[in-house]
Amino acid sequence: MANPNPIDQIAERVERLLMRYGELQRTNALLTEQVDSLARERDSLKSRLSAARARVDALLERLPDAGAGASQKETG
């Protein structure tokens, strides 16, 4: 069996490199999309957490003072 032509070998390598490059581009696009999706989810969760904290703080402000409540029970 004769050795393949060096030009043919180079062409084959270039084809493989181009195929691999295309695969990497698709993988990169998918990963970028996933990162964007996770960033949006993170931002949404941070917003929900902030809203929940605000609601908890508002509820805590409505609670009577713990010290005042205890002294009222003792005197009542």
Cα-based distances in Å from 68 to 3, 40, 73: 96, 45, 9
Residue labelled with tokens 């009542």: 76
* Residue 4 pLDDT: 82
What is the per-residue pLDDT for 73?
59
* Residue-wise pLDDT tens digits, 1-30: 567 899 999 999 999 999 999 999 999 999
The residue that leads in pLDDT, 16 or 69, is 16
Q: Where do the H-state alpha helices sit in the chain? A: 6-62, 66-75
User: pLDDT at position 74, please?
Assistant: 59
Count Cβ atoms within 10 A of the Cβ of residue 51 and give its class: 0-12 exposed, 13-18 middle, 19 or more buried.
exposed
pTM higher than 0.75? no
